[in-house]
Structure 1
Amino acid sequence: VTEFLLSNYTQPKELLFAIKELAFLGGNTNTGKAIMHTAETFFVQENGGRRGHPRVMLVLVDGWPSDDLEPAAMLARESGINVFLVSVAKPAAEELGMVLDKDFIKKAVCKDNGFFSYSIPSWFSTTKHVRPLTERICSLDGLLCSKTCYNSVNIGFLIDGSSSVGYTNFELVLDFLAGIARSFDISDVGARIGAVQFTYDQRLEFGLFDHPNKEDVVSALRRIPYMSGGTSTGSAISYASQKCPNAGRGRNFLIVVTDGQSYDDVRGPAMAAHRQGITVFSVGVAWAPLDDLRAMSSEPKEDHTFFTREFTGLTDFIQPLVRGICKDFTDNN
């Protein structure tokens, strides 16, 4: 049950009065459902969520949850919500047999590092724990879940514009990249996306700082004119490594889309990009050699290399690529 939203009260006195007026509901401890409801409802802009501000959820549990909270906690983490769980009056030894998941605290919190979990022995001693809890919540450096793969990545699109692609297929490539872009929270304080098209030459279509929102990025992708020409993927990787993933914040990714063999070496430029901390995904179509694709990709190769015979098959890679970026982000943060 939503008692009030972030946008309902702006004055401390009004908020305190609203809290004191809350009525006791009773019933089961459906912590998972509560976290899911809060994650889906509270932090959207129309309900008071503010872009660029940390998202914090403080969960008070008496005893133990009566439902599965892991999926809800995962959604909260992916949404950039810092979940703190305060356990009041832990279950007694004879009650442990009734606890569905003894690791529920570890699974619920933002990170299982001790910072996001807090234990209070009884409800009679809660007031003396207000200050230490407040200090944790207000510790910006400690709010590790504020940064997610959706709002803290820099992604460069490296687009093959060679003659073998053709106008129709080039539009399919742009559709594919627009689908990836839509998956991220693009803003001046969030994810950033840039694009480079290449043949023998390279052309910066737009940089990471050129378009501060998702709609502008998708629109800019749609407007990219097809170049036509040869294929020098190695030089393009070197160029894109300098032009795109260089925002000074967040993790850096480069997605290379090509349909043929490069006329120059791809291994050297790709290794240089890897050393710069750029994670490279290669997406090959039609005649793109698997050896070149694997040479460009980051390790493990099988997780960063994609291939399809037809340009129409590119859309099947949108979600696997987004999941791959999120996995790399999570594993390295």
Structure 2
Amino acid sequence: MYLKRVSVFTLCLCVLTSVYLCAGCSTAVNDLVYIVDGSWSVGSADFETAKQWLINITSQFDISSYYTQVAVIQYSDTPRLEIPLGLHQSGAELIQAIQSITYLGGNTQTGRAIRFAVDHVFSSSQRASQVKHRIAVVVTDGKSQDDVVDISMEARAQGITIFAVGVGSEITTSELITIANKPSSAYVLYAEDYTTIDRIRDSMEQKLCEESVCPTRIPVASRDEKGFELMVGMKIQTKAKKIPGSLVSEAAYALTVSTDITENTKEIFPEGLPPSYVFVATIRLKGTASKLTFDLWRVLSKDKEFQAAVTLSGKDKTVTFTTTSIRQKEQKVVFKDNFQTLYDGKWHQLKLLVRPTQVTSFLDDEPIQEILLDPMEAIYINGETQVAKRRGTDITVPVEIQKLRLYCDPYQSERETACEIYSVVRSLTMPLLPLQD
């Protein structure tokens, strides 16, 4: 049983120097408390599986006094503090401690366990003024035999984020929704049983990471999505000229060679980037912009090394995605096919779905290509984030931008449509022609 790969080199740099400040899920400053069901219905074998699941999902964090500290509460009739918050200052120590937890057995008093976490565990943190995120993960396989409503509301009111994980068929969905933060679609997870709980490990890891590095919200339709509204963060709306957008209802902004869209990365991505995200840009490339090679969006380190970038080449009609790599300073993937129309002088939506092992490109809602990625590192945030810059220079390329966003939830790729593009709207609303004999 091992933690997944974590770059010790990168983490050491984060600790030892402030010149090269890196940030990401591994370096998030969290107090993370697991509240784990140890009642009779779980059973000793499944409890061992639950312990391994805790080890697996904790692996994305650097366990130390600088970053994430972890506590574990096992509960049945009464809660039992298995691992105090901040006791273990390394991943290896934490693994050993979790593996040593013995199964409790008893009834299911979930509300009492949450109360114990609020009153005695989170309150015991020695880093109260430093911790940015206080997160509880409640894992249960059945209905609580006491009330969970009042204490869950109290915990959330104190700024504690609660995830509820239901395992098996005896869980009560309404109770999990009562325990967790809103919306329940983001904070409630389900597993069929303990033998399949590892299937939701990736989802749990992503959600914990989102909570750590994506605290902001973007208003989208009837819900708020975690992410970064780059039009606002990069101050494009105040620096560039407002122009008509792709539809009468849309506004866009025209950049000129004298428009400098540059901000400190610490102000845009203060906690780095999540392991999965969706980059969305609605743009129009006319004139020189449709012929040049330039970075539509790029994140540079203090030494001007690329941490992330989306590069457009009018000459080759390609899109290139650049990100970090554990094997070298950076890695690039080039999407070579079916991007010709992006450079035709009309409005288009470019979308990249980035996951830890692959990146998928879309143009106007149509999937184009999927390319594998090597494992990525956390990014350095002491540099700058820029928009529409010629490759290798600080010269701005005159592009027109209507939307520029980065969503933390990878499933937003499915929800974010290109209905703002006239050709897409028209194809969706045109009546079907009658069949010809």
Q: Which residue of 2 aligns with 1:188?
A: 65
Alignment match of 1:203 (pick from 80, 89, 93): 80
Q: Is the 8 A contact 1:207 1:243 kept in 2?
A: no
Q: Displacement, 1:293?
A: 0.8
Q: Which residue of 2 aligns with 1:253?
A: 135
Match status 1:218 vs 2:95: yes
Letter in 1 for 2:176: L
Letter in 1 for 2:149: R
Q: Displacement, 1:51?
A: 2.4
1:188 to 1:292, Cα distance in 2 relative to 1, 3 A? same
SS of the aligned residue for 1:51 comes to helix
Q: Is the 8 A contact 2:25 2:61 kept in 1?
A: no
Alignment match of 2:187 (pick from 304, 309, 313): 304
Higher relative contact order (CA 8 A, sep 6+): 2
String of CA shifts for 1:103-135, please: whole Å, max 9, x gaps.
Answer: xxxxxxxxxxxxxxxxxxxxxxxxxxxxxxxxx
Q: Displacement, 1:54?
A: 3.0
Alignment match of 1:280 (pick from 162, 182, 197): 162
Match status 1:43 vs 2:43: no
Greater fraction of residues in strand: 2
String of CA shifts for 1:188-231, please: whole Å, max 9, x gaps.
Answer: 11110000011110110011121111111111111101010000
Q: Displacement, 1:244?
A: 3.0
Note the residue ranges of structure 1 that are not aligned, 5 or more in a row.
Answer: 1-39, 57-79, 82-145
Question: What TM-score, normalized by structure 1, do the two folds share?
Answer: 0.57
Q: Which residue of 2 aligns with 1:266?
A: 148
1:277 to 1:44, Cα distance in 2 relative to 1, 3 A? closer
SS of the aligned residue for 1:194 comes to strand
Alignment match of 1:236 (pick from 113, 120, 124): 113
Q: Displacement, 1:160?
A: 0.5
Q: Which residue of 2 aligns with 1:54?
A: 18
Q: Is the 8 A contact 2:166 2:176 kept in 1?
A: yes
Alignment match of 1:316 (pick from 190, 199, 209): 199
Q: Is the 8 A contact 1:237 1:269 kept in 2?
A: yes
Q: Which residue of 2 aligns with 1:330?
A: 213
Q: Is the 8 A contact 1:43 1:55 kept in 2?
A: no
Letter in 2 for 1:151: A
Q: Which residue of 1 aligns with 2:250?
A: none
Q: Displacement, 1:245?
A: 3.0
Matches within 5 A, 1:6-45: 43=10, 45=12
Question: What TM-score, normalized by structure 2, do the two folds share?
Answer: 0.44
String of CA shifts for 1:22-64, please: whole Å, max 9, x gaps.
Answer: xxxxxxxxxxxxxxxxxx897364xxx26254352xxxxxxxx
Distance 2:153 2:82 in 1: 24
Q: Which residue of 2 aligns with 1:167?
A: 44
Alignment match of 1:154 (pick from 20, 31, 41): 31
Letter in 2 for 1:262: S
Q: Is the 8 A contact 1:161 1:198 kept in 2?
A: yes
**CA RMSD of the aligned region, Å?**
2.1
Distance 1:221 1:161 in 2: 13
Q: Is the 8 A contact 1:151 1:186 kept in 2?
A: no
Q: Is the 8 A contact 2:24 2:213 kept in 1?
A: no
Distance 2:206 2:29 in 1: 14
Distance 2:28 2:167 in 1: 29
Greater fraction of residues in helix: 1
Distance 1:185 1:294 in 2: 30
SS of the aligned residue for 2:56 comes to helix
1:268 to 1:52, Cα distance in 2 relative to 1, 3 A? farther
Distance 1:147 1:250 in 2: 13
Letter in 1 for 2:70: I
Q: Is the 8 A contact 1:182 1:218 kept in 2?
A: no
SS of the aligned residue for 1:159 comes to strand
| Number of corresponding residues | 204
